[in-house]
């Protein structure tokens, strides 16, 4: 590609000199200093464009890798992310609406406190004590939910968020930070999640160990008829199978022991995978 130079010519420049400059040639030898002013071309935009291309390629590669891990196409992955983003936006709108309503309640309370003379400026020590109390209350809330989740067989916060999505408590999968803020500020969502965890915990207590083992044995037998050799293959099938919308029976990664615990505690997921294995077994026979 020929370079283009921006130059300032003397009024006495010859046609040959103008032709050589227009042709993009380097200025000829013997030229007097200051006769021409040359500006180097600005390459910053080209470098920036190249950087953007590389970044886009990297993003597409990551997208392709994620789609392969989930066992779906790139188009399905993009559609799934659009759905998640829309649900997240809807959740944020609901939280903003709730925050607005709560702010109106606080405003009314502040007005009442002002009328009663309770709005005196607090000292630094008093403000610090109030903040400390608030943090302690939030920690107690999260600790209570954590204990209920463990009793229900949910061993990580990520699994807890997945459980909340499956139960329709969260509309989409949220980050740990956002989910935590919602739980400590939204009493309705917190109570619904606590109730769902307690129900799972009670059903788990009510099932004897022998019944749990029998349930898993029956499922494994059905899976073998469908052509699956071991529990790893069963888990792999669960990671590829959607239970509803964009939620899968098992998330990636899920260990065999985690998968067994999920199936014991979640009848809906168990019925879904049993239905799939039954259909596959009939197709083979």
Section 32-52 average pLDDT: 49
- Whether the ω angle into residue 253 lies within 30 degrees of 0, i.e. cis, is yes
Asked if residue 184 and residue 133 are part of one domain, the reply reads yes
For residue 37, report the phi and psi dihedrals to the nearest 5 degrees. Answer: -115, 120
Asked if residue 215 and residue 182 are part of one domain, the reply reads no
34 Rama class: left (phi>0) / alpha (psi -120 to 50) / beta:
left
Asked if residue 148 and residue 73 are part of one domain, the reply reads no
Asked if residue 155 and residue 95 are part of one domain, the reply reads no
Instruction: Determine, yes or no, domain membership for 53.
Output: no
Coil vs helix vs strand at 39: strand
Q: Is the pLDDT of residue 8 over 70?
A: no
pLDDT in tens, 207-227: 667 777 888 899 999 999 999
Print the domain residue range for 275: 209-284
Provide the CA 130 distance to its chain's centre, in angstroms.
33
Asked if residue 201 and residue 164 are part of one domain, the reply reads yes
pLDDT in tens, 175-186: 888 989 999 999
Asked if residue 215 and residue 254 are part of one domain, the reply reads yes
Contacts of 17 (CB under 8 A, 6+ apart): 9, 28
Instruction: Determine, yes or no, domain membership for 59.
Output: no
Asked if residue 104 and residue 132 are part of one domain, the reply reads no
pLDDT in tens, 53-112: 547 788 888 888 887 887 788 888 788 888 778 777 877 788 788 777 877 877 887 777
**Helical segments of 23-73, H only:** 44-70
pTM over 0.75: no
Asked if residue 177 and residue 241 are part of one domain, the reply reads no
Instruction: Determine, yes or no, domain membership for 56.
Output: no
Instruction: Determine, yes or no, domain membership for 132.
Output: yes
Query: If you average pLDDT over every residue of the chain, what do you get?
Result: 77
Asked if residue 154 and residue 128 are part of one domain, the reply reads yes
Section 180-194 average pLDDT: 91
| Range in 121-135, 152-166, 248-262, 266-280 the model is least confident about | 121-135
Asked if residue 195 and residue 127 are part of one domain, the reply reads yes
* Count of structural domains within the chain: 4
Task: Specify burial of residue 167 (Cβ count, 10 A radius: 0-12, 13-18, 19+).
Answer: middle
């Amino acid at each position: 590609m020929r370079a283009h130079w921006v130059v300032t010519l003397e009024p006495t420049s010859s046609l040959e000199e103008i032709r050589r400059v227009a042709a993009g040639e380097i200025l000829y030898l013997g030229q007097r200093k200051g006769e021409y002013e040359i500006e180097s071309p600005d390459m910053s935009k080209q470098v920036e464009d190249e950087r953007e291309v590389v970044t886009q390629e990297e993003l597409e590669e990551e997208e392709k890798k994620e789609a392969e891990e989930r066992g779906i196409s790139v188009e399905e992955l993009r559609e799934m992310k659009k759905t998640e983003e829309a649900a997240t936006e809807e959740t944020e709108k609901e939280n903003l609406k709730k925050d607005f309503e709560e702010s109106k309640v606080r405003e009314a309370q502040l007005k009442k406190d002002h009328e009663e003379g309770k709005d005196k400026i607090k000292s630094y020590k008093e403000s610090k004590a109030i903040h400390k109390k608030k943090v302690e209350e939030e920690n107690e809330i999260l600790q209570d939910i954590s204990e209920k989740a463990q009793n229900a067989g949910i061993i990580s916060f990520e699994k807890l968020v997945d459980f909340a999505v499956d139960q329709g408590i969260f509309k989409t999968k949220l980050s740990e930070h956002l989910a935590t803020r919602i739980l400590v500020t939204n009493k309705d969502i917190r109570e619904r999640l606590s109730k769902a965890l307690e129900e799972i915990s009670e059903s788990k207590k009510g099932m004897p160990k022998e019944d749990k083992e029998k349930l898993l044995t029956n499922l494994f037998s059905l899976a073998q008829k469908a052509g699956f050799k071991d529990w790893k293959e069963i888990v792999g099938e669960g990671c590829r199978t959607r239970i509803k919308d964009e939620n899968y029976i098992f998330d990636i990664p899920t260990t065999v022991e985690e998968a067994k615990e999920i199936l014991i505690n979640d009848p809906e997921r168990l019925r879904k995978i049993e239905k799939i294995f039954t259909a596959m077994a009939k197709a083979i026979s």
